[in-house]
């Protein structure tokens, strides 16, 4: 019991000392206007360094990835057709394609496929 309490106290002491040391070392100096500005050959930047983010491109990329993965899931079913009954294979693929079509319809109704608003 004594060893457990001693090890807990040692862990707490070490962690407290480390947190205190980090807090003391990481104190920032007085904020200076020159230090806070971005360095660009002594001139202030005229435009933002970040490019605007287009949500349409992101949504098209996500839709492409989703349908690409689903095609990869469908391709092995061609090989499975030789090992299973045609009716069960047809039912499974039909359900999968219906789910895909419902997702596409949902995206269409929400306007995700519209390029301009």
- The Cα 15–Cα 19 span in angstroms is 6
The predicted-structure confidence for 3-14, as pLDDT tens digits, reads as follows: 899 999 999 999
Task: Give how far the C-alpha of residue 17 lies from the chain's centroid of Cα atoms, to the nearest Å.
Answer: 36
Q: Are 59 and 112 in contact (CB under 8 A)?
A: yes
101 Ramachandran zone, left/alpha/beta (phi>0; psi -120 to 50): alpha
For residue 26 the two structure tokens come to 């990481």
pLDDT at 14: 95
CA distances from 98 to 64, 90, 102 (A): 18, 12, 6
106 Ramachandran zone, left/alpha/beta (phi>0; psi -120 to 50): alpha
pLDDT at 96: 85
Residue 53 has what DSSP assignment? P
pLDDT at 44: 56
For residue 41 the two structure tokens come to 């050959």
- The Cα 111–Cα 117 span in angstroms is 9
Spell out, as residue ranges, where the chain has pLDDT lower than 50: none
For residue 86 the two structure tokens come to 């045609």
pLDDT at 28: 64
């Amino acid at each position: 019991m004594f060893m457990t309490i001693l090890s807990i106290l040692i862990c707490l002491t070490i962690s407290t000392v480390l947190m205190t040391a980090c807090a003391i070392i990481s104190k920032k100096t007085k904020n200076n206007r020159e230090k806070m500005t971005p360095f660009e050959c002594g001139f202030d930047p005229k435009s933002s360094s970040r490019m605007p983010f287009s949500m349409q491109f992101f949504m098209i990329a996500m839709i492409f990835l989703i349908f690409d993965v689903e095609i990869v899931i469908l391709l092995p079913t061609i090989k499975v057709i030789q090992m299973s009954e045609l009716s069960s294979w047809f039912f499974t693929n039909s359900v999968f394609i219906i789910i895909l079509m419902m997702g596409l319809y949902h995206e269409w109704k929400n306007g995700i496929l519209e390029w301009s608003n």
